[in-house]
Amino acid sequence: MPNGDKNRTLSPELIDKIARMELTARTAADGLLAGMHRSNAKGFNVEFLEHRPYSPGDDIRHIDWKARAKSGKYFIKLREEERNIQAHIVADASASMDFGAGDSSNKWDRCALLASSVAYLLLKQGDAVGLSLAGGQAPVSRAEHRASRGQLHRLISILAAARPAGAASLAAELAASADLLKRRSFVIVFSDLLEPPEPVMESLRALRGRGNDATIFHILSPEETDFPFAKAAKFIDPESGAFISADPSAVRAAYIKALSSFTRGYREFCARMDIDYVSAPTSASPEETLLKYLESRGRRAGR
């Protein structure tokens, strides 16, 4: 469980937690980086990569005017950046993330850990990393993009101090983040995506439309993936307070089917939009999750 510091101050426990998270993130990322040949972080590079049609919102500085002169159409010149990229982490801190038995499988804990690890990786290769929280209660819910050495500590402090709460709209946060991003960025979303998918997908589509790269870490607990409940219970949505009385044995199959359809919808959407979809169940270790992600990222970069 995240630290629920009601005074919004950095208590010793919070500081200790931040230190542990930082250490854990570094350990996890270092372990992953060991043996890797190159960074697979993708971004805008000074080396020409390809053209793509102009879309509203694109920075006109990236229009290839030569191509315009030749073809009469506007193309954005994509380049392989030689220096660090701008990455933006969106962490879902809605109440639904405060779920999962034990520290290791709590969705918010896993979200903070994965976000910290990714931030560490990005910062280590010199990228500027920013952060925004979707929902939740936190003294600070947003961090500017920086590549400084203290940025990791800053991001982890924000994550550690945050407490999942409320019914946040990930779609709104993604839209807001898109507006804030000054240049094409690498947007990494950590969420359970448990809200109506259409607005989220619309926001992601807009992000991608602006040339941003995106990755979604879909964090679910075993209770959500397996629905292992045995006895009839009153299931309450922590965000809305709505509830359903159900016999798990009677609805398990239908639920699993609905979840499968839900995740399949996101997978298919992400595939269409060239967004990395990473299944991040809390039952898996964070290293395993990150490794699988980086491997798949590497394979895509290799293509």
Between CA 229 and CA 247 the distance in angstroms is 9
36 versus 250: smaller Cβ distance to other proteins? 250
Comparing CB distances to other proteins, the nearer of 54 and 262 is 262
Q: Which is nearer to other proteins, 74 or 235 (CB)?
A: 235
Min separation Cβ 47 and other proteins, Å = 44
Sorted by sequence, the CB contacts under 8 Å of residue 175 that are 6+ apart come out as 203, 206
Token pair, residue 291, equals 């490794």
Handedness of CA 162, 164, 169, 174 (dihedral sign): positive
Nearer to other proteins by Cβ, of 103 and 237: the residue is 237
Which DSSP state fits 228?
-
Closest approach, Cβ 283 to other proteins, in A, equals: 15
Burial (Cβ within 10 Å: 0-12, 13-18, ≥19) of residue 89: buried
**Minimum separation from the CB atom of position 93 to other proteins (A):** 13
Residue 279's identity, in one-letter code, is S
HEC readout, 131-162 = EEEECCECCCCEEEEECCCCHHHHHHHHHHHC
Q: Is the dihedral of CA 102, 103, 109, 111 positive or negative?
A: negative
Q: How far is the CB of 245 from other proteins (least distance, A)?
A: 5
Nearer to other proteins, 54 or 227 (CB): 227
- Smallest gap from residue 107 Cβ to other proteins (A): 8
The contact set with other proteins (CB under 8 A) reads 95-97, 99, 107, 192, 194-196, 220, 223-224, 229, 231-240, 242-247, 249-251, 254-255, 258-259, 262
